[in-house]
Structure 1
Amino acid sequence: MNTEPKQVGWERQTIEKLLLAELRERRAARRWRIARSLLWMLLFGALIWVLASEQLPSAAPAGAHTAMVSIKGQIADGGEASAELVLPALRSAMEDKGAQALVLLINSPGGSPVQAGLITDEIRRLRALHDKPVYAVVEETCASAAYYIASAADKIFVDKASIVGSIGVLMNGFGFVDTLDKLGVERRLLTAGENKGFLDPFSPQSEQHKQHAQRMLDQIHQQFIEVVKQGRGERLKNEPEMFSGLFWTGEQSVQLGLADDFGSLDSVARDIVKAEKLIDYTNKENLAERFAKRFGAAMGEGAVQALRGLPGLR
């Protein structure tokens, strides 16, 4: 009996099934690649849209209004309360012809005296240039560098329970010299320049370095005091601990002349500026920009180090 035709038919069916299975897999893989490409294109398009929507200048609001710029969180380079973001917002607010006044909405424990100084100088310049009043409204906290900025305003309004003051400067850190000795660890620090290891936490602090740091702090503190006195003038009461770094409640700050009166953002716009309509000019860095900056910085640093073949400066 001849079984060859059956054998050939079975092999042909098997080959056809394998070929069909391979074809289906290729089609599925192709569909997945197309779907993945479309997904990335959608994500990229959404990112571009977010960046464009936040970067495009908004149309100038019609009619009289109160301009507002928020200063919230730590005042530091790279943060939302940095001079890089606050200064353009101040300019936009003061240059708008419909803005009757600028209100600084402050809720910050302080931060960098450099950033605060840059913001303060720009407030004074814009106020004189555009002849518009500037008011500060304190929410929970207006301390240290935040009060540095607030003192440039024509008037400061607080809540009775706000925390205001802390006119002082600090430099902090830790010392681990004894800890290393107990652990049996030897500190090896090589420097070019006898003071290059200044404030190294693993080395003993010399009296010379301590005095130098104190002189720096005293100088910055004096600059802070002069800014507050220039801004507040004769409204400041004769309080011996005014510039000691202490802080007070909003109620106490009004009594001491650190603030002028009680008020909120809405009440100042309504009763002081006489323009209830509020427009927020705060310039906030979006998540896409923040990611792009960090990613770009990391890539740039990695490329530089790879080219140099050297460790980064510390």
Structure 2
Amino acid sequence: MKDDDSRRDEPQATPSEQQSPEDRWTQGAEVPSGQDSQPSGHPDDDPETLRERQRLAQLEMMDHWIGGVLAEQRRSRRWKLFFRLLMLSLLAAAIGIGVYQFYAPATTAPTSQAHLARIDVSGVIAEDAPANAERIIEGLRNAWDADSAKAVVLHINSPGGSPVQSQRIYAEIMRLRESGDKPIVAVIEDIGASGAYYIAAAADDVVASPVSLVGSIGVIYSGFGLQDAIDRVGVERRVLTAGDNKAFLDPFQPFDDEDEAFWQGVLNSTHQQFIDDVKAGRGDRLSDDESLFSGLVWSGEQAKALGLVDQLGTIDDVARDYAADADWRNYTPSLDPFDRLTRRFTQTAIQLMGVDTSPSPLRFQAP
């Protein structure tokens, strides 16, 4: 009796404590061996009912197993995705660093060691381009103020561009040239034409390769006359102005002789300013050839005979002439590499579409 009473007094196991060990695949109770073949049911159940119960038990067990396998696969995929994203992030960071190092100019801090100061004038000269007056002038001033700079070298490779931007750079070079004895040298690579030559003309010396393109001292305006096209399409253009000639360059309106004569006068006046500045910069070195200011482009060798170039050579020859043992220091202000990359894509797209984004219709640019 005491044994029976003691057994009754012992705490009975709860249903959760009586469950089988957990299966690591199904995340549920482990089914003991042989249990699937002994389905639970009422003793009076017929064989068909027992078989149905057995089938359902097997399906339930299979469902638990498949669910566990799928959960394991999901966890595995998550880790794979995490590591892939991590690798892509590291790769993107490496590419970003590479792009920055590739596109950022090698601008260096001032140094006390003797050197040649270089400023790059590359591409179209425009307010919204890397070769703009603010950037070039900043580099010029920094190079001029560096006491250890033996010479300031403008490394030019440009077809020209904005008259205003070119004239601003020219004026700053002339101001520096007249305020001290440090030489300013313009070195023309593939091309130094129109607005780019405008800048070069202010330097003390102009150096070009025998096959460089030099000159194009002229002004250009180009546009389209689309008034007949809009009539054929059947579109009515509505333009309101205050001033009889406000829209005289509208490509959808006729361009009569009076408008042409007026606009040609503007081009002639701008061209004469270009000529006067080149003469002021080059002085007696210019020849008396009548075609000198006709807008023609010459090779470096021809340009030397015309007085547009002082000597034939390269930037390496300049280094040997002015400071054989001096290093180069690039004073061109750095650009944001991503901004520069964006600019290149944008400019390429604009060039392919033939769109002119210049705020001025006049251009000091080679045709």
Cα displacement string for residues 137-180 of structure 1 (whole angstroms, at most 9, x for unaligned residues): 22232211011000110011222333221111111112123344
Map of 1:271 onto structure 2: 321
Cα displacement string for residues 273-306 of structure 1 (whole angstroms, at most 9, x for unaligned residues): 55553333334535412357799xxxxxxxxxxx
Is 1:229 the counterpart of 2:279? The answer is yes
Change in 2 beyond 3 A, CA 1:41/1:192: farther
Native 8 Å contact 1:161 1:249 kept in 2: yes
SS of residue paired to 2:280: helix
Change in 2 beyond 3 A, CA 1:215/1:264: same
Map of 2:85 onto structure 1: 36
Native 8 Å contact 1:95 1:130 kept in 2: no
SS of residue paired to 1:146: helix
What letter corresponds to residue 178 of structure 1 in structure 2?
D
C-alpha deviation, 1:28, in angstroms: 1.7
Is 1:11 the counterpart of 2:60? The answer is yes
Structure 1 residue aligned with 2:219, among 166, 169, 193? 169
CA RMSD of aligned residues (A): 3.2
In 1, distance between residues paired with 2:238 and 2:196? 38
In 2, distance between residues paired with 1:43 and 1:94? 39
Native 8 Å contact 1:187 1:202 kept in 2: no
In 1, distance between residues paired with 2:236 and 2:255? 14
Native 8 Å contact 1:177 1:201 kept in 2: yes
Native 8 Å contact 2:156 2:189 kept in 1: yes
C-alpha deviation, 1:34, in angstroms: 6.4
SS of residue paired to 1:106: strand
Native 8 Å contact 2:192 2:215 kept in 1: yes
Change in 2 beyond 3 A, CA 1:96/1:49: farther
Map of 2:73 onto structure 1: 24
What letter corresponds to residue 136 of structure 2 in structure 1?
V
User: How many residues are aligned here?
Assistant: 294
Native 8 Å contact 2:108 2:330 kept in 1: no
SS of residue paired to 1:174: coil
What letter corresponds to residue 117 of structure 2 in structure 1?
A
Native 8 Å contact 2:275 2:293 kept in 1: yes
Is 1:92 the counterpart of 2:125? The answer is no
C-alpha deviation, 1:113, in angstroms: 1.0
The 5 Å alignment of 1:231-310 reads 231-283=281-333, 285-290=335-340
Native 8 Å contact 2:117 2:330 kept in 1: yes
Which structure is larger by alpha-carbon Rg, 1 or 2?
2
Map of 1:303 onto structure 2: none
Deviates more, 1:81-90 or 1:55-64: 55-64
Change in 2 beyond 3 A, CA 1:30/1:126: farther
Change in 2 beyond 3 A, CA 1:212/1:30: farther
Native 8 Å contact 1:137 1:264 kept in 2: yes
Map of 1:189 onto structure 2: 238
**Sequence identity of aligned pairs in percent?**
38
In 1, distance between residues paired with 2:178 and 2:309? 21
In 2, distance between residues paired with 1:189 and 1:294? 35
**Structure 1: gaps of 5 or more residues:** 296-314
What letter corresponds to residue 72 of structure 1 in structure 2?
S
Is 1:142 the counterpart of 2:142? The answer is no
**Structure 2: gaps of 5 or more residues:** 1-46, 346-367
